[in-house]
A = this chain, B = another copy of it.
């Protein structure tokens, strides 16, 4: 099938659409062409520190206009998970202040008391410290279930990486003597379901475009989307054989979507 002829296109953000505060080459033109052809566009990120509105503003600021309903963040999906699947939950948060904002917007009951929490939701936290580790551990040791916003060990930033959610999850798991029961972000089926719901097209008519085999491409493959790896981020052509995760297409950059 011609890569330009799907009904809907999902784009990962970091490494696919942007790096740091810069859009990658060809992104604006590619998205404009998709809109001209009336295709559904959805931007997907595993971020645990951004709401869809945060991402919309960030993209707009870089020169890419889009709607809030064209963006899915793992933090948003976490809120929607609890609201839909665990309406009785009282969630203790280990993460940045924005997590509380998203949970409130999603109608999730948040508790500041580890003793009464039913779940501990863990995200990346650039203000993480020992006291937060103690309190999260205490909640988990009292039976609260550990949920990770995403499974990313690090987050790429210009010049390298910073520790992401999974590093904090591992500290908590170790102290609590337990394991995270659920991971929300890509490549989880829960994230895929939420994306497909928003796309409103059958998966086989959707193309998932991303730079990471083990999150973007794996999730797309698992949920029946077609997939395209772009080489502007983490994974390389050599990784495809090594990791045995096969994308349907390989693109040097998003600019190649209509020039292939």
Contacts and interface: CB of A to CB of B under 8 A. Distances in A.
Contact of A174 (B129, B153, B162): B153
Contact of A171 (B127, B138, B171, B177): B171
Contacts of A153: 174-175, 177
The secondary structure that dominates the A interface is: helix
Interface string A116-139: 000000000111111001100110
A163 B134 CA distance: 7
Copies of this chain: 2
A137 B174 CA distance: 18
A145 to B, nearest CB: 18
Interface in A215-235: none
A166 interface: yes
A167 interface: yes
Contacts of A175: 153-154, 161, 163-164, 167
Nearest to A125: B130
B171 A173 contact: no
Interface residues of A, number: 29
Nearest to A173: B170
A167 B177 CA distance: 10
Interface string A133-169: 1100110010000000000011000001111101111
A170 B163 contact: no
A41 B184 CA distance: 53
Interface string A39-63: 0000000000000000000000000
Interface of A: 125-130, 133-134, 137-138, 141, 153-154, 160-164, 166-175, 177
8 contacts: A126-B130, A128-B130, A137-B154, A153-B177, A166-B174, A167-B174, A170-B171, A170-B173
